[in-house]
Structure 1
């Protein structure tokens, strides 16, 4: 048997063994599941319409205020109309992103048992082994959930990435707050979204033998204020727009930003937290890294306008 195949099995979570019954049962229902799996929404091809925003006006000293305000307006409009947008010239160097990805790949290449046993409790997660009752509830993926405060100097690439992306998240959150309130906000996000409450999630989506039927990550919304995603070029991210699943075409220069449930509540529904998912690939593994801007459990979230709809 191919050596590389055995190595992949050794490092992959035991999807086949754990989901054996569900996968076997699904074979008799393949045609029906292909139609219903995606929450009955129509799937479209990869879309290049997702707003793409150049952030350079925010960081350059020789840019006039009109250009800066125009950039901020684009950010707020995309958050309102789509809940998702891409950003380029975001201030995070290609070296930092590439070094982070190399470190991420090394971590996931370790044997499954090593990942399961040698990391702090709760940090390594895979699939939905204890809760799935049908093939539609499976997530064919593995992930590390890492609080920003837990990153050690030994993981320098991850720490660098977390530091840079945290700064960008704070900047975007303040802009979104400013545009809806009509003035610069206080230090709300700096005070309430701390390294101890924000976290990174490193994701790996192994090849899936029945990719047409199983999600890499089930449809969901994010429960934070906002999320910043760095993904590879394999593709698989889809978001809901106008009753359809829109596939996001990977852009090697861009980070993806999406609004979370807390920002939707804080903005009284103006900014949109939309459903999104990851679909699997039959032959290629996919990597992504997400940063979640989260407040502490004690933080009071109140809508910025009245009457509140939440």
Structure 2
């Protein structure tokens, strides 16, 4: 048995006290069941220290005189045109965006603007309804629909300036009675529309990989869908915190709807690129699972959301993955994209295996699970 010096003991005690104080502060915040919005409603002018985020080493592109950097905007209006060359042009743009930026915005995607607006309003209705009604959905237990602030509140090194609801939508649809009145109808309608859009997006991504249009759907990339509705109120000290910390998505693709208040940024060439809201547009980004099966042809990208002095910022992130429905399906780099010059870079895996590694080894520091599966 070894012994520790007095000075080391003192340092350990300090760390323990800091950790203990933080846990107490987190629990006090969590117990209110009112989230970040509750703090703002109470009129705070200084944010609690649990929300402090360390400074970032990367600069915004706009600060480095790269104001022309912007993620691609792709018009899907002509994907069903009778002239096949029109679809090929769209596929080429999708391929280029997925290989280079890993993010792109889409217009004329088939979801009516009125539905997008109704979904944003549904999120607002849920978070701005009577506190006692909203509290009924506050939990950290897994349910078809739940609400809380910072889903990994007790496991993350810092907290972020947002409240969220979660809804598991496919492959098993939730019972309508499990969803809140404030957003039940629009949540079901919007998710149906996103599932249809997912079918088209996976067709275009398949073709961009040189595969048949149905390839990615046939291996189950669009079977699962879950949604997070995020609500980030105006922050009195936005320079001290973030709306979402830097991370990449552990799914196949993500479709994001955001309201008029910006904040989303993509890390590209060691710079933060703003993704400004575009009326009627949706943001699409590649997830880790698609990077794995495409053998790095398409790549996931780290991104974040900054806190804002104005608000609320509302976003709805739709994730294509069967994360909450364990499957024995085995994935690996798609054989059709491999060659002598492009051998497999990853071993075979199951989605539960990727998620288990992410939760135990990567979630705390928001690191990528990809390296664990590299050959």
The TM-score normalised by the length of structure 1 is: 0.82
Q: Distance in 1 between matches of 2:331 and 2:39?
A: 40
More strand by share: 1
Residue 200 of structure 1: aligned partner: 227
Within the candidate set 99, 106, 113, 2:118 is matched to 99
1:139 aligns with 2:166: no
Residue 344 of structure 2: aligned partner: 308
Q: Distance in 1 between matches of 2:73 and 2:234?
A: 29
Residue 184 of structure 1: aligned partner: 212
- Structure 2 vs 1, CA of residues 87 and 117 (structure 1 numbering), >3 Å: closer, same or farther? same
Residue 3 of structure 1: aligned partner: none
- Aligned residue pairs total 283
Q: Distance in 1 between matches of 2:332 and 2:231?
A: 35
Residue 83 of structure 2: aligned partner: 64
Within the candidate set 240, 255, 275, 2:267 is matched to 240
The TM-score normalised by the length of structure 2 is: 0.69
1:126 aligns with 2:149: yes
Q: Distance in 2 between matches of 1:271 and 1:244?
A: 20
Q: Distance in 2 between matches of 1:70 and 1:10?
A: 45
Q: Distance in 2 between matches of 1:186 and 1:244?
A: 35
Preserved contact between residue 47 and residue 249 of structure 1 (Cα < 8 Å): no
Higher RCO, 1 vs 2 (CA within 8 Å, ≥6 residues apart)? 1
Residue 52 of structure 1: aligned partner: 73
Residue 30 of structure 1: aligned partner: none
- Structure 2 vs 1, CA of residues 204 and 21 (structure 1 numbering), >3 Å: closer, same or farther? closer
Bigger CA radius of gyration = 2
Where structure 2 has 5 or more consecutive residues not aligned to the other structure, the ranges are 1-33, 347-375
Residue 369 of structure 2: aligned partner: none
Preserved contact between residue 151 and residue 158 of structure 1 (Cα < 8 Å): no
After superposition, where does 1:275-290 map in structure 2 within 5 Å? 275-290=302-317
Within the candidate set 199, 202, 208, 1:170 is matched to 199
Please tell me the root mean square deviation across aligned C-alpha atoms, in Å. Answer: 2.7
After superposition, where does 1:69-88 map in structure 2 within 5 Å? 69-88=88-107
**C-alpha displacement at 1:242, in angstroms?**
0.5
Within the candidate set 112, 115, 120, 2:134 is matched to 115
**C-alpha displacement at 1:22, in angstroms?**
4.1
1:41 aligns with 2:58: yes
1:152 aligns with 2:176: yes
Where structure 1 has 5 or more consecutive residues not aligned to the other structure, the ranges are 1-8, 27-32
**C-alpha displacement at 1:206, in angstroms?**
1.4
Report the 3-state secondary structure (helix = DSSP H, G, I; strand = E; otherwise coil) of the residue aligned with 1:139.
coil
- Structure 2 vs 1, CA of residues 246 and 199 (structure 1 numbering), >3 Å: closer, same or farther? same
Preserved contact between residue 12 and residue 111 of structure 1 (Cα < 8 Å): no
Q: Distance in 2 between matches of 1:263 and 1:194?
A: 11
Q: Distance in 2 between matches of 1:10 and 1:178?
A: 43
- Structure 2 vs 1, CA of residues 106 and 190 (structure 1 numbering), >3 Å: closer, same or farther? farther
Report the 3-state secondary structure (helix = DSSP H, G, I; strand = E; otherwise coil) of the residue aligned with 1:251.
coil
1:161 aligns with 2:190: yes
